[in-house]
Amino acid sequence: MVNCIHHKFVFRHMVELPHCECVFCSTQEEESGRIRLFLVFRDRRKIYMRCGIRGNWEEVLDPEEYESVWEGFEQAILERKIPSFVASAMSFAGV
């Protein structure tokens, strides 16, 4: 579980990953300027945040934190003001 103080996030970049059915989001905390990375699974309505110290993705379970990220995500999609990309489904097996 992710435990942190509630922040307002400014979405900077989004990359849709169709093969994973999620969207990778780069955000910045408005107050501290700290960068946060999220994976948003729209159909499953789940959000994961990257924990750099542990080197893993942790589900955002705190209801207020979840709502803050979800609302920012939805707003970023509606406004269409940030760089957004769709990753191709090409295979990287030969790389």
pLDDT surpassing 80 at residue 2? no
Which one, of 43, 47, 42, 71, lies nearest residue 58 by Cα? 47
Q: How far apart are CA 1 and CA 57, in angstroms?
A: 10
Q: Give the pLDDT confidence score for residue 88 in this predicted structure.
A: 73
- Contact partners, residue 1, CB within 8 Å, separation at least 6: 58, 59, 61, 62
Q: Tokens for 41?
A: 């699974």
Q: How far apart are CA 4 and CA 60, in angstroms?
A: 10
Q: Give the pLDDT confidence score for residue 19 in this predicted structure.
A: 84
The 10s digit of each residue's pLDDT in 37-53 is: 999 999 999 999 999 88
Between 95 and 86, the higher pLDDT residue: 86
pTM over 0.85: no
pLDDT surpassing 80 at residue 89? no
Instruction: Please count the CA atoms within 13 angstroms of the CA of 64 that sit on its side-chain side.
Output: 6
Roughly how many angstroms between the first and final C-alpha of the chain, as a whole number?
34
Between 91 and 24, the higher pLDDT residue: 24
